[in-house]
Amino acid sequence: MLSAFVNYLRNERNYSEQTIVYYERANRDFQEYFKFMDSTLSWTSIDKDVVRMWMESLMDQGETAGTVNKKLSALRAFFRYLLRKKIITVNPMATIKGPKKEKPLPMFVRESEMNRLLDTYNAEPSDYEQILARTIVLMLYETGMRRAEFLGLKDKDIDFTSHQIKVTGKRDKQRIIPFGNELEEAAREYMRVRDERFPSHPDSFLISKRGNALKESAFGLIVKQQLSLVTSIKKRSPHVLRHSFATAMLNNGANIESVQKILGHQSLETTQVYTHTTFEQLKKAYEKAHPRDKE
């Protein structure tokens, strides 16, 4: 279908070769994304939620709003073509709006709320789903991993002796993330229960309650359900826990270069958005507490 679309752009629409190459690459990148997320998906079964998750993934990788909007334009052109050829009957791009160019401050869960949630896990979880949920929330909050990085994690990537996790990020770039004793205990317990329940599970760290590698949709739902227990913010996704990790690190004295390396940001500017978040917190605390400011 993509090859036919490229021919259509070149021969019927007379697009420039540069635009054609960009549109083809953007659509192939999207195809790789949704096939990685769920191999059963196809161009005819894509819905708006998949497109929105892809947008979030791009922003998480540090892509600018302008770049994301350009890629969405490429998708829009392709889906209009599929609609015209009657290959699809509903355009998943119809209600999709691209990100605003001025990136808002990242949404995060307060430390007090995260502590309240994590403290509830101190009581021994009673079933596999609870143990899985605890492990997911704790590992996201303690490492700041991206959604795709966590879903691609394997047991061999976790070194309990040195307390390090090897993460494979965008373009197969690898980095090392340290972790503490609390996460070690939770991860070891999860793996023990998982292996007892599913002796022949796939080669993936995260295994669903049915014994399969955990899918992105189920992963996101688990995080949303857990965060709903302690916060009322509208967005309750794995990406929010990444923001929460970075904000908590900076609030507690970590230098920005260290946070940049742990998050896997190529540019320091991408990480600096969290300094704006911490500044807003400080400003609110000042306005609330300073005696001269109350006059």
Positions marked active-site: 146, 170, 239, 242, 265, 274
The span from the first CA to the last CA of the chain, in angstroms, equals 68
3-state secondary structure of 159: strand
Q: What is the number of helices (H) and of strands (E) in the chain? A: 12, 3
* Beta bridge pairs of residue 174: 168
CA 255/CA 268 separation, integer angstroms? 12
The strand pairing partners of 176, in sequence order, are 166
Q: Encoding tokens for residue 215?
A: 């899918």
Chain centre distance of CA 22 = 24
- In single-letter form, the type of residue at position 218 comes to A
CB 175 within 8 Å of CB 167 = yes
